[in-house]
Amino acid sequence: MEDAQRWSVTYTKHVKQKRKVYQDGFLELQSSRHKVMLLDEWDKLLESRFVKKDDLIKSGETLAFDCYLVDIGELCGGYKPASTLNQGKDGKVEEKSGSFYSSNSQNRKSAFGRGKGRVICLSPSQKMIRDFKKSEMNKFGSSPSYVDITKSSTT
């Protein structure tokens, strides 16, 4: 799984409807196995299939699964496939691949994400929200009328 690539995507179950409701997720391509996997934003596997010869998997393209329609967004640059090391009873180190969620986590936060140097891959809607919040903070935080109101109320 060392050759995996990961994109942030938006996907919908409404394949045939005119009005589609999209959700954020990820698309993971394992080129050695010629397999593509659709994951939700919590890295839960939704669907997987083998890549066809006519499939074009790159940013800006649309990919159709049996039950999902996927719009591919940006490539997550610093993504490394999920793998953890566990030591067995005999002292040998076993490698396990899979999710980093701890079994007792109720709020589904990633146990892997607690370390420093984590690469954050935001979905397109999360980027829009972040940019909107920044613009609102700049608009209201540095406004001259806002400064005048606070000065006049303190004097």
Beta bridge partners of 6: 28
- pLDDT by residue for the chain (155 residues), tens only, comes to 467 889 999 999 988 888 889 999 999 998 888 899 999 989 999 999 998 888 888 888 888 888 899 999 998 866 555 543 344 444 444 444 444 444 444 444 444 444 444 456 767 777 788 888 888 888 777 545 444 444 455 55
Beta bridge partners of 94: 86
- Is 73 in contact with 123 (CB distance < 8 Å)? yes
- Its sign, for the CA torsion 128, 56, 68, 29, is negative
pLDDT the model gives residue 129: 82
- Its sign, for the CA torsion 145, 150, 153, 154, is negative
Closest by Cα among 36, 37, 40 to 13: 40
SS3 150: helix
**Is residue 23 one of the residues assigned to a domain?**
yes
How many domains are contained in the chain?
A: 2
**Is residue 28 one of the residues assigned to a domain?**
yes
70 shares a domain with 132: no
The residue segments making up the domain with residue 138 are 124-154
**Is residue 50 one of the residues assigned to a domain?**
yes
pLDDT the model gives residue 146: 47
Closest by Cα among 25, 36, 26, 46 to 3: 36
**Is residue 25 one of the residues assigned to a domain?**
yes
**Is residue 150 one of the residues assigned to a domain?**
yes
**Is residue 103 one of the residues assigned to a domain?**
no
* Domain end position, chosen among 12, 41, 75: 75
This prediction has a pTM of 0.50
